Chain A
């Protein structure tokens, strides 16, 4: 899938990049297609006690056991009147050391845009919930505004787990100390 834009990169100055676009709360977010391993209907998830609420649990994705998280909950983007539907979708994202599932409410859609469409996030965006370092830029396509996320930065273990030790077991505390 990435072969095409690669070859065009050389041909043109303005390469085309492919995004996977999904909705969190009211906004649209995009991630580069290379970072998405697959999209599936959310499989059966085993809830893990003693984990933060946004960690939905673990699921079996073709033999891989992966953690599934809900970014709407993680970033407080969920509107009270919009609970996660019974059938949701999970994007398997390949982070640096592991694969993780991100639960989204609608089928994520691919979208090709020119690299130049992505603008640096303006300074005044001060979303307290999403730290701007995960934001690679803002893509403006007609009336649509897509926040392009850098998943590799977002999904470091410390970021994703928020490492609030009080949310995990006391046993985990003692282990990090020893």
Chain B
């Protein structure tokens, strides 16, 4: 906890010092050319940001000074004052004072007294002359003013991405060298390889760590969003946020931004009832929305929870049948979770009627796609009349994924563990053919099974009906799970479980979404990483 506070303070310091430097620059520009509206706008903006940051960190005296300074820059901007005469020295000394205060925070010292400055700023606002006596003696201080460089560096995410890619390649070479050193069997080489492996691991974690940011940096945008949406929708909403300290890769946060915005808007717009409806239903008039983050093993769970009207499973079930997504019989047999999963089907959620009936749904498929692209999972839980919870299961880091390697037609493939339920090895007796599809029972559930070879190399047409006679001997099957649908994939041979560094598919092949990317194995061989969501969709489109 202590260290996180320390980290926040360092970030505040770095930003504040940067603001201070920029302010010093802009005010000098303004002195040279009082009509420089660009510099003025910047000064106003910087003061405003500094004020917000300082107040958020509890450095209220800095916030107060910045607030007063902002007021005067605002007056100058609105042409109610000019940057001339006695205004100039007061504002200069104001910026100097801000610099001193920031430095004092950085060195854990007592903040300098600002009574005189505040008094002068007040006088300026009231249109009185400031008290500028003794101002000259500050000159000594100015000369001894320290030039400081920040302890933090800003770095473009692009550069971190590059670093991450390089580390990814280093990891691949590490595996290669480890493999080679085992083959060669030279003890000195083995020691060097082991050492290299340790350093490479540490480097990888350091780079991953450097990319982590608090979920709070995204959550902090939501109080405003909630307020605005609630006002438009005429709802009364109280927002609670927890777990802002949970760390996650910055790019993941970037990718889920729109998804989260979508879920929050949906929750307020469709999930929560109007105050009158709530009271009629015996609930408090004020709706409650919770944004939370928590770490669970290597994953981060982000939840959007409302206490609104919930999802009407019966009407979703009816709609799914009407839309031909499932037969009436099939729908009757589905459990509630499976029915709610239909909400994420493309097109399904676009239907206006569904939005009205279930109180859910514009573009949930878009949210789903964003989460899929990260190799994450989207879950929904809901109790009719009590509320809905969407859970985003996200990896902490994009680059490294646990994967299951297998062989198909003498080539290696990888499938992310995130979407893998289990692996089984079954004899042909364990299968039934139902409607041209192979089925097997796994944990008391009927799971369709398809030969991955046929699914991938079938050409464009639908799959031909499966025959039990196609199967000879033990079948290695990977059970994948996507959107509550389980599917068994027959592969040639399981290889092993391994952490892989997934590289995105290079252009122009990135339009083929059946593969989430590629990875290089220790042997140097290129290995395709299958995308389970796309594979499931392909199966649904091609099933006989």
Contact = CB atoms under 8 A, between A and B. Distances in A.
Interface in A27-81: 44-51, 55, 58-60, 63-67
Interface in A147-178: 155, 157, 160-161, 163, 166-172, 174-176, 178
Interface string B510-521: 011111001010
Given A44-B526, A166-B460, A178-B366, A97 B507 contact: yes
Interface in A89-115: 97-100
Interface of B: 169, 346, 365-366, 369, 411, 456-457, 460, 503, 505-509, 511-515, 518, 520, 524-528, 533-535, 537-538, 541-542
A143 to B, nearest CB: 37
Contacts of B366: 178
B411 A178 contact: no
Count chain A CB atoms within 10 A of each CB in B512, B514, B528 and give the residue with the most.
B512
Given A49-B457, A65-B518, A178-B366, A171 B509 contact: no
Contacts of B509: 48, 51, 55, 58, 67, 161
Q: List the 10 closest A-B pairs by CB distance, nearest first.
A: A157-B508, A49-B456, A98-B507, A171-B534, A170-B541, A46-B526, A171-B537, A169-B514, A67-B509, A60-B526
Nearest to A173: B541
Given A44-B526, A48-B528, A171-B513, A64 B506 contact: yes
A59 B520 CA distance: 10
Given A46-B527, A178-B346, A178-B365, A161 B511 contact: yes
Nearest to A100: B508
The secondary-structure label for the interface of chain A is mixed
A172 B506 contact: no
B511 A46 contact: no
Given A44-B526, A60-B524, A60-B526, A170 B508 contact: no
Given A63-B169, A174-B346, A50 B512 contact: yes
B512 A48 contact: yes
Contacts of A178: 346, 365-366, 369
Given A63-B169, A65-B503, A174-B537, A49 B514 contact: yes
Interface residues of A, number: 37
Contacts of A65: 503, 505-506, 518, 520, 526
Given A167-B460, A178-B366, A172 B528 contact: no
Contact of B513 (A97, A100, A166, A172): A172
Contacts of B511: 157, 161, 163, 168, 172, 175-176
A172 B514 contact: yes
B511 to A, nearest CB: 6
B343 to A, nearest CB: 16
Given A48-B515, A155-B508, 5 more contacts: A48-B509, A48-B528, A65-B526, A157-B508, A171-B538
B512 A169 contact: yes
Contacts of A169: 512-514, 534, 538
Given A44-B525, A49-B514, A171-B534, A58 B411 contact: no
Contacts of B524: 44, 60
B538 A170 contact: yes
Nearest to A164: B460
Contacts of A64: 506
5 contacts: A46-B526, A58-B528, A63-B169, A175-B369, A175-B513
Nearest to A58: B526
A174 B344 CA distance: 14
Nearest to A158: B508
A172 B512 contact: yes
Count chain B CB atoms within 10 A of each CB in A55, A97, A174 and give the residue with the most.
A174
B512 A51 contact: yes
Contacts of B534: 169, 171-172
Contacts of A47: 411
Given A63-B169, A66-B506, A170-B541, A46 B525 contact: yes
Nearest to B453: A49
A168 B518 contact: no
A157 B509 CA distance: 8
A102 to B, nearest CB: 13
B508 A160 contact: yes
A58 B456 contact: no
A37 to B, nearest CB: 14
A66 B518 CA distance: 10
Contact of B518 (A58, A98, A157, A161): A58
A140 B215 CA distance: 64
B514 A58 contact: no
A44 B520 CA distance: 12
A49 B525 CA distance: 17
Count chain A CB atoms within 10 A of each CB in B457, B509, B538 and give the residue with the most.
B509
Nearest to A50: B514
Contacts of A166: 460
B340 to A, nearest CB: 21
A60 B512 contact: no
Contacts of A98: 506-508
Nearest to A46: B526
Contacts of B506: 58, 64-67, 98-99
Contacts of B526: 44-46, 58-60, 65
A107 B527 CA distance: 28
Contacts of A155: 508
A81 to B, nearest CB: 26
A168 B460 CA distance: 8
A172 to B, nearest CB: 5
A21 B514 CA distance: 36
A155 B542 CA distance: 31
A50 B459 CA distance: 7
B273 to A, nearest CB: 30
Contacts of B515: 48
A44 B524 CA distance: 9
A46 B408 CA distance: 12
A169 B511 CA distance: 10
Count chain B CB atoms within 10 A of each CB in A48, A50, A67, A166 and give the residue with the most.
A50
A67 B528 CA distance: 12
Contacts of A157: 507-508, 511
Contacts of A174: 346, 537
Count chain A CB atoms within 10 A of each CB in B365, B503, B514 and give the residue with the most.
B514
